């Protein structure tokens, strides 16, 4: 995707319903194509899967980096939104464990984007902050609920735990099995000292 005349409308007005459907289709298609073929996959693969024209893609995402950043934000939003849903469905420790597994899956599938995200392109400058601002409060709520229930220790720092999971969620020969074993070990560690003093903000 060649550089366009301007960056996408990060502060643009709300889209019409049909335009929003096109953007949603593009983002969903791009996420799938990036996962399968990498972020350098031909534009035609994305537009064909989204069933839109190349002009529609360039109108909303003039540069490839704009599309990559938008896909990343969309996936962050989806993963973060799972937290409250799990909290409403499961006991606190189970909800925490399930969300950590979901987050690990998110990290593993985004490994292919790491080179692009660290390329120095200004389109990615806000993404580390976006990541932290959306994930840290979700995990903090899950940790607090589990601590109040007496299921885990109460001094776990959510940002430390997010970074720990990020380091563990690497593609290996045994893939998900390895990550799930490591998450189980982390959760066991959180259970040590359950009922201690409340976690400081």
Transcribe 106-162 into DSSP letters. HHHHTGGGHHHHTS--GGGTTHHHHHHHHHHHHHHHHHHHHHHTTSS-S---HHHHH
Residue pLDDT, tens place only, 112-168 = 666 677 778 888 888 889 999 999 999 999 999 999 999 999 899 999 999 988 877
Number of H helices, E strands in the chain: 9, 0
Its pTM surpasses 0.85: no
Q: How far apart are CA 67 and CA 64, in angstroms?
A: 5
- φ, ψ of residue 134 to 5 degrees: the values are -95, -35
Q: Which residues contact 22 (CB under 8 A, 6 or more apart)?
A: 50, 52, 56, 60
- For the chain, which domains are there? 17-191 (1.10.357.10)
Which among 201, 84, 67, 75 has a CA at the least distance from the CA of 142?
Answer: 84
Q: How far apart are CA 87 and CA 151, in angstroms?
A: 14
Residue pLDDT, tens place only, 55-102 = 999 999 999 999 999 999 999 999 999 999 999 999 999 999 999 999
If DSSP codes are grouped into helix, strand and coil, which group holds residue 16?
coil
If DSSP codes are grouped into helix, strand and coil, which group holds residue 175?
helix
pLDDT band at 7 (very low <50, low <70, confident <90, very high): very low
Residue pLDDT, tens place only, 115-125 = 677 778 888 88
Other CB atoms within 10 Å distance of the CB of residue 100: 26
């Amino acid at each position: 995707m060649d550089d366009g005349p301007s960056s996408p409308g990060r502060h643009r007005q709300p889209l019409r319903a049909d335009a929003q459907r096109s953007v949603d289709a593009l983002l969903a298609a791009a996420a799938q194509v990036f996962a399968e073929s990498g972020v350098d996959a031909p534009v035609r693969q994305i537009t064909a899967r989204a069933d839109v024209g190349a002009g529609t893609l360039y109108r909303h995402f003039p540069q490839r980096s704009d599309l990559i950043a938008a896909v990343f934000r969309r996936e962050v939003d989806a993963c973060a939104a799972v937290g409250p849903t799990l909290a409403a469905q499961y006991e606190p420790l189970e909800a925490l464990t399930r969300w950590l597994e979901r987050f690990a899956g998110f990290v593993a599938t985004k490994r292919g984007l790491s080179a692009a995200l660290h390329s120095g392109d200004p389109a990615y400058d806000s993404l580390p902050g976006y990541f932290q601002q959306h994930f840290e409060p979700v995990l903090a709520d899950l940790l607090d609920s589990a601590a109040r229930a007496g299921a885990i220790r109460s001094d776990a720092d959510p940002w430390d735990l997010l970074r720990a999971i990020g380091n563990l969620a690497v593609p290996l020969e045994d893939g998900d099995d390895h990550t799930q074993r490591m998450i189980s070990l982390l959760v066991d560690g959180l259970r040590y000292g359950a009922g201690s003093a409340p976690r400081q903000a």
